[in-house]
Amino acid sequence: MFVSDGHDTINGGNLQAKLGSLMGAMQKKVSFMCIGVQSNFPTFVSLFLREKYHRGDGNIPSIFLIEYASDKAFFNKF
């Protein structure tokens, strides 16, 4: 599960090099979910990780968006 507030894109070009070195799911079944919290989502990081790791249930939406962060909002999504 990847959770982001949308600010993961500010780490510079070094982040893209690190993402490129990840091994991925390696033929394992992995259901990868992205949870976006508030604005600035989806980011390139979340979409890249989803593409690299999601090998599980194709019915799982690529992004669950939580527009307003609160205990009730998280409870309703999960």
Identify the domain containing residue 58 by its residue range: 2-11+31-77
Assigned domain for 17 exists: no
- pLDDT for residue 62: 73
What is the per-residue pLDDT across 20-78, written as a single tens digit (0 to 9) for each? 788 887 888 887 777 777 776 767 777 788 888 888 887 877 777 777 778 887 787 77
State the total domains in the chain. Answer: 1
Assigned domain for 56 exists: yes
Q: Are strands 63-66 and 34-37 parallel, antiparallel or unpaired?
A: parallel
The 10 Å CB-count burial string (b at 16+, else e) for 8-33 is eeeeeeeeeeeeeeeeeeeeeeeebb
User: pTM for this one?
Assistant: 0.56
Assigned domain for 60 exists: yes
Separation of alpha carbons 46 and 32, rounded Å: 10
Assigned domain for 23 exists: no
